[in-house]
Amino acid sequence: MITNDQITDFIQKIPPSPKALQVTITLLNNGELTKAAQIAQTDLALKSYLKSIVNKPIYGFKNEVSDISQIFGILGVSSSQQTVYNYMMTLLSPKKWKLFKLNESTFHELQAKLSRRWKQILIHLDIDDAEIESAITLLPASIIVSEALFNHKKADVEILRSVNNLNLNTILSRLCDLDLFDICKKISQKWEMPPKTAKIIQASSGFKPSDDLEINTLGKWMHLLLFYELSQPMFIEAQLNDFIEFQIEYVSDIYDDFAELMEIS
């Protein structure tokens, strides 16, 4: 059993942001894109990450975008904030993944796909809320934490998978008394995100619906998005699809709408 203290200790190791990153986030929170871009420009690693993300094919730009002011202008405040949160995760991401078949490139691809699709969903729902948009960053963050926790009990994980044929989320619950979505909640608290962010993530599990209609609706859309993306061949091979148990009854009322939105993207 991995104790709650061990989990908390690991999450506390999520590194404090470098000074330039702290200032960038503060400025983005205040909606000051130009000033945020000027500061982000001074952090070469952050600058490189922003360029690598925004120039992925999923964004559809024909010519390379390299100027940080232009990148922030294209993304807008909410998406820029979300992308910087994603960058924070690269500071914690393992140099070599042991349980999940991921590397730096495929992990960045996961971040980009989830971020882009979630933004698309929020536009479709006519929602412009930076905190809600940033909620999707918690899933990649929790995958990093899960990788570390599983590596502490790798033999136990392999036995549970081979003998009982359990999915990874169930194994995580048995080893830690927390599932992937509970870990997301802990990370949201570490990042001092508002409580509704964690509630959306919890609802997206498909097992913890919210009494709040808006939060529950967002949870349904996120549940479908997670299942959709983690069911892509790249992430099936990485074993990430083993985290999401699709709850068709939970999302049946929006399934067709979601499918249509994915087709036109």
Q: Which domains does the chain have, with CATH numbers?
A: 4-264 (1.10.3210.10)
Q: What is the pLDDT of residues 231-262, one digit of tens each?
A: 999 999 998 988 888 999 999 999 999 999 99
| Rounded Cα distance, 22 and 39, in Å | 10
Token reading at 59: 């964004």
**Range of weakest confidence among 141-145, 165-169, 196-200:** 165-169
What rounded mean pLDDT belongs to the chain? 85
Do 204 and 238 contact (CB within 8 A), yes or no?
no
Closest listed residue to residue 111, CA positions, set 102, 124, 98: 102
- pLDDT at position 254 is 97
Do 174 and 127 contact (CB within 8 A), yes or no?
no
Please report which helix (H) or strand (E) contains residue 21, including its range: helix 19-29
pTM equals 0.80
Do 223 and 180 contact (CB within 8 A), yes or no?
no
DSSP code, position 244? -
Token reading at 225: 């998005």
- Helices within 130-247 (DSSP H only): 130-134, 138-152, 154-164, 168-176, 180-190, 195-204, 213-230, 233-237
Token reading at 6: 């061990």
* Torsion over CA: 195, 210, 141, 168 (sign): positive
User: What one-letter code names the amino acid at 161?
Assistant: R
Q: What is the pLDDT of residues 59-114, one digit of tens each?
A: 777 778 888 988 888 888 888 888 887 787 777 788 889 889 998 889 888 988 99
- pLDDT at position 126 is 95
| Rounded Cα distance, 43 and 19, in Å | 9
| Rounded Cα distance, 14 and 20, in Å | 17
- pLDDT at position 164 is 66
- pLDDT at position 223 is 96
**Range of weakest confidence among 53-57, 143-147, 183-187, 201-205:** 53-57
- pLDDT at position 18 is 65
Please report which helix (H) or strand (E) contains residue 74, including its range: helix 68-90
